[in-house]
A and B are shown apart, each in its own frame.
Chain A
Amino acid sequence: MYWNPAAECMPRPQLAELQLERLKSVVERVYYNVPFYRHAFQDKGLEPGDIKSLDDLRYLPFTTKQDLRDNYPYGMFAVPLSEIVRVHASSGTTGKPTVVGYTRKDLNTWSELMARTLTCGGTTKDSVIQIAYGYGLFTGGLGAHYGAERIGASVIPISGGNTKRQIMLMKDFGTTVLACTPSYAIYLAEVMKEMDIEPGELKLKYGIFGAEPWSENMRKEIEDQLGISAIDIYGLSEIIGPGVASECQCKNGLHIFEDHFIPEIIDPVTQETLPYGQPGELVFTTITKEGIPVIRYRTRDISFLYPEVCACGRTHIRMGRITGRTDDMLIIRGVNVFPSQVESVLLEIGETEPHYQLIVDRIGNLDELKILVEVSENMFSDKIGGLEHLEKTIHDRIEAVLNISAKVKLVEPKTIPRSEGKAVRVIDNRKI
């Protein structure tokens, strides 16, 4: 099922041609309209005319979240405010939020991309879609909303929260598609169970979940408990919001909407572009956006790209599930370690909200990694053997993922210090 087969299944040579034309145009626009980019280009001795092929992308400067903060609120906009018809902002856990603006054409593009995304997930004009992403400054709710309206589905703009009411309306209104975060989907299933409502009493068929990392285990759990087919979607407000990439029903990687965004994977330390298949930091260049185009925006998300054409027929490149964040990357014995890789291991083991802490020490000349894991109720067993087995499973999986042997220590719940609700993930005791 496609929303826009001409765009989604465009032959690669034609797509490359379109991308180059659009890249040249965006480079010109940011150079002449955004002082930040003009300076960044000049620092590298670049002019818009230097971009002659898609390969030249690698010479362009990067953009970071800090750049958006430094130009708070409107400094990165490439059009006058009179052309902006919508503003969104991402929550700033530290400091000011990052602000993004959309022109009317941007909103049109966003609706198109969300229409593609929701179609990938099984939405049609006959669907009744319940949008339980938050509405407001967050891009999730309104992004999904406009995409669903574009398709012509019946939209229930319920936003997040008020779970029992969500379930009541889901039942009474005959909701067929649910859009929310995966952890909220699990919570909905739990509350449904408490309310003695069987999935069979609902008409729910499809789920469209994103905005946070999740695992195959979680997908299976959600699909089983709600009796639906669930897909993973990806996006971030700095690029457009949801609608950057979406799984199709093959559920094997997320198609990046390449007619609007050019993805790259870079080594977060050397900033070199990496070949397909290698994990690294995901970087996007928006090639059609008007309000706030970004050049080589560093997402801090760890993924990889695979260019093989998908069984669904879409030609757009796929990205793997996000496996980590570069923000708190550690280098241990020369190996790049992302705390979220540990998190993904714990997620696979079945923890929906794992609490853990990495402690790095240098003993003699050797780095040592110790991982504290809070034991949760569903991990706990009255048998020592059960807990030892758990410790070993975590150790072995982490070794397989990180290529580093870590000492795993199970600790009591709520003993890992939390700052403002978030656990302190890393303690680096090395004095180098």
Chain B
Amino acid sequence: MIKQVSIFLENKEGRLGRVLKILGENNINIRALSIAETADFGILRLIVNKPEQALVVLKNAGFLVSETDVLAIEVPDTPGGLAATLEPLAESEINIEYMYAFLAKKSDNAIVIFRVEDSKKAIEVLNSIGLQVLSGETIYSL
């Protein structure tokens, strides 16, 4: 499973920049990010190469952060690639809370990060159709 760093951000100028600057100064590299927002606040979700360290430096800088377990899979970067993967999850009544994707370097695949309530069950379903979830080490060191 992958450690995602979630950060609470108010919708005001400079907050996102501040997070990115702190990570840069601490030599922490971002693999993927997504932002979910309402009118007043947002949640910044990050996959970084050093999640534990990111958690500490952001917390020390006064940010409200938490660590969440998410899953990552590789899907073919072709039309319909993601749909084929998600179908079995829906059939097993596994609800995806949120997801985001990015392209892997040096490969023809896309990497999809997603969060479900029951990660263990999701992994079983994915394994049953021959898909391996990616390990933390794989993602962090991309």
Interface, chain A (partner B; CB < 8 A)? 375-377, 380-384, 387-388, 409-415
Contact = CB atoms under 8 A, between A and B. Distances in A.
Interface string B107-118: 000000001000
Contact of B38 (A377, A380, A384, A415): A384
A388 B8 CA distance: 13
Interface string B22-54: 000000000000001110110101000000000
Contact of B62 (A375, A382, A410, A413): A413
B115 A382 contact: yes
A380 B40 contact: no
Contact of A412 (B38, B63, B115): B63
Contacts of B64: 375-377, 380, 412-413
A380 B6 CA distance: 9
Contact of B10 (A376, A381, A415): A415
B14 to A, nearest CB: 12
Contacts of A382: 4, 6, 43, 45, 66, 68, 115
Contacts of B15: 412
B117 to A, nearest CB: 10
A377 B62 CA distance: 12
A376 B97 CA distance: 22
Interface in B56-73: 62-64, 66, 68
B5 to A, nearest CB: 9
Nearest to B5: A382
B102 interface: no
A388 B38 contact: yes
B126 interface: no
Nearest to B115: A382
Contacts of A376: 64
A383 B97 contact: yes
Given A412-B8, A412-B9, A415-B10, A380 B41 contact: no
